[in-house]
Structure 1
Amino acid sequence: MKINSNSIRIKDVTTHLGTFDISSNNKLEVFSFIINANDFDYKNATEQLLESVAEFALSRKINKEYKDKPLALSKKAREKFRDYTENKGELGEFFLYCFLEGHLGAPKILSKLELKTAKNMYVNGADGLHYLKLVDGNYHLIFGESKVEKKLTDGLRHAFESISDFKKGKNKKDNDKSGIMFERGLLNSNLDREIEDENEKLFLKSIIYPSTKSGFYVDDAFGIFVGFEFNYTDLQKLSNNDFREVIKDKIIEVTKKQIKNINKYVENYKLFGHTFYIYVLPFANIEDDREMILKELLS
């Protein structure tokens, strides 16, 4: 499987401010939107990421089926989303997909949005499933978790709480339809709707249910995206160059303070052995910007 070509554009519309190592090979990736006239350039981002909406929301099979019918494909993708004025989570799921595919290079196997049969349907479980081939020839099966919250501290804390519950098989409805093994079964049962090529199906089955015959190891990992609010109004009178330098330093400063908390969450929830790929992205006004970006992507 290859990554979708449009997801790579996430690297064109955001600036990578730095990678920070956390204990046990975990990575904290810090990004910001491109700056234009002392503001985050959302218009540029939504314009360039527009083609990724269908790749995120729909299966590879459907994308291939409708490749010569772009308007019909776009309509089918938009139908998967809830009303953007009420939506609280799908923007985070979308950016999680873009970063895991476009930056990390981990192809999407399945997104939670694909499983929705109605706009307002809620689906338990991971926000997305990806896999990553490692340099040693082994693999990570990556379960995604996204949060878009006003405070970065809250977003990270809630993400790790959700991951802990997910690993224990707990969910809001207090039933057994969640957890790693349930998710593997869900993924396995949906391969036919996602993939046409039989060799790819066999390969993915070997990732989902690895065996001694596979010739490689598979470890469960987690991808986290947290969007948070970062108000920069008091900096906007700076020159363009000074603004870019100052805001970069301040975003990094705010983010690095979370490293101690991340290590604490791994310790408290006993999540040792799992690799975490963590992406953080600031927004100027989390509620207004969330609604505006979704409106631009879905209109």
Structure 2
Amino acid sequence: MLETNIGEKFLGLFYHDIKDHELVGCNSRVNLHVLRIANNKFDYSNLVYELYDSIITYCLSPRELEELAGTPGGKKFFLAVNKLKEHENNDGELGEILLYCLLESHLKAPKIMTKMELKTSSSDYVKGADGIHLLQLNDSDFHLIFGESKLNKKFQRGLYEAFKSIDEYIKRPKNNINDEVLLINSHLIKEAITDEQYKYLKKIIIPSAQDDELNTDRAFGIFIGFDLELEDADWLLPNKTFRQKVRKLIVETVEKEYQYIENKVKEKGLHGYTFYIFALPFFELDITRKKVIENLKGASNDF
């Protein structure tokens, strides 16, 4: 089987303030991860350091990594960051990277492929899921998880955009979820896996109706990065008071949208799918998402 590349060390960057909360009647689990707060700021600096390694396995395929085995890590990093868009025009790739990291570290769902692997340059545009992961539930049941990442100032608006994209992805006549499964099937043989692994994964991804041993359902991993706006007086609070207030506010922001998520699943008729929803707040989202990418591409860290 495939193995994950992102482990517990990544999760150590975050407070896990909502843990696998199951919503009623809509096969959805919500997780809230909040970056560690120090000196009344989110710890973006350590996030950047951790992403130096993460983007290598996010951007490069197993075959590319196998071909680079034994070469200095700097070359892998260079090839990976060159697939990222320039930060000035990069509004979404940070969310895609973070979703990959959380699916691997929190769910223990290894990636099958990401859209970044299909890019040959930073200017390429690849339509479809942000990434595709495989989650083994037990010996016979699996979830093929399609990633959808949205960064928006408002948490609810991010949810709206995510469910809209997912609904279109399932229902549009071309470049839809079924086409993506066929793409996965053709992509597998190009990866650096053994013949035995290839046959087993192919059997999981497109199981035969004549074979009751394996069952694979499609699911979605949703990452919503949103902006947290505070009053001017909040920034002047003592450190401990600031942490307590901010973490409480973030939890309340996410919890009040539980009903909205349930309504969206019902409205779009998506009860047959499972949703793994990850929420992560930012301060100054529009600035921060570009600044993180700028630091990654420049191998710097000025947070």
Which of residues 165, 170, 174 is equivalent to 1:162?
165
Partner of 1:189: 186
**What is the deviation of 1:65?**
2.4
Deviations 1:270-297 (A, max 9, x none): 0011100000100001111001111122
Residue 31 (structure 2) pairs with residue 29 (structure 1): yes
SS in 2 for 1:167: helix
Q: Is the 8 A contact 1:129 1:142 kept in 2?
A: yes
Partner of 1:89: 92
**Structure 1 regions of 5+ residues with no counterpart?**
171-175
Partner of 2:270: 271
Q: Greater relative contact order (Cα 8 A, min sep 6): structure 1 or 2? A: 2
Partner of 1:42: 44
SS in 2 for 1:148: strand
Cα distance in 2 for partners of 1:7, 1:53 equals: 14
SS in 2 for 1:228: strand
Q: Where in structure 2 are the equivalents of 1:79-118 lying within 5 Å? A: 79-118=82-121
Residue 225 (structure 2) pairs with residue 227 (structure 1): yes
Q: Evaluate the alpha carbon distance shift between residue 29 and residue 289 of structure 1 in structure 2; reply closer, same or farther with a 3 A threshold.
A: same
Q: Is the 8 A contact 1:7 1:49 kept in 2?
A: no
Residue 211 (structure 2) pairs with residue 206 (structure 1): no
**Which range moves more in the overlay, 247-256 or 136-145?**
136-145
Cα distance in 1 for partners of 2:193, 2:274 equals: 30
Q: Is the 8 A contact 1:147 1:227 kept in 2?
A: yes
TM-score, length basis structure 1: 0.93
SS in 2 for 1:85: helix
Q: Where in structure 2 are the equivalents of 1:56-135 lying within 5 Å? A: 56-69=58-71, 70-135=73-138
Instruction: Provide the identity percentage.
Output: 36
TM-score, length basis structure 2: 0.92
SS in 1 for 2:121: coil
Deviations 1:97-135 (A, max 9, x none): 000001111000000111112211111111100010114
**Structure 2 regions of 5+ residues with no counterpart?**
299-303
For the aligned residue pairs, the C-alpha RMSD in angstroms reads 1.5
**What is the deviation of 1:64?**
2.6
Deviations 1:174-219 (A, max 9, x none): xx2x111100111111112323222221121112211132612111
Q: How many residues align?
A: 293
Partner of 1:173: none
The residue type equivalent to 1:129 in the other structure is I
Q: Is the 8 A contact 1:91 1:294 kept in 2?
A: yes
**Which range moves more in the overlay, 138-147 or 1-10?**
1-10
Q: Evaluate the alpha carbon distance shift between residue 117 and residue 4 of structure 1 in structure 2; reply closer, same or farther with a 3 A threshold.
A: same
Partner of 1:9: 9
Q: Evaluate the alpha carbon distance shift between residue 88 and residue 262 of structure 1 in structure 2; reply closer, same or farther with a 3 A threshold.
A: same
Cα distance in 2 for partners of 1:147, 1:27 equals: 17
Q: Is the 8 A contact 1:141 1:208 kept in 2?
A: yes
Partner of 1:252: 251
SS in 2 for 1:141: strand
**Which range moves more in the overlay, 154-163 or 45-54?**
45-54
SS in 2 for 1:219: strand
Cα distance in 2 for partners of 1:244, 1:257 equals: 20
Partner of 2:301: none
Deviations 1:8-40 (A, max 9, x none): 432011211112221243101011111111100
Cα distance in 1 for partners of 2:54, 2:146 equals: 20
Partner of 1:294: 293
**What is the deviation of 1:256?**
0.7
Partner of 1:241: 240
The residue type equivalent to 2:183 in the other structure is L
SS in 2 for 1:218: strand
Cα distance in 2 for partners of 1:298, 1:252 equals: 32
Q: Is the 8 A contact 1:116 1:123 kept in 2?
A: yes
Cα distance in 2 for partners of 1:237, 1:288 equals: 21
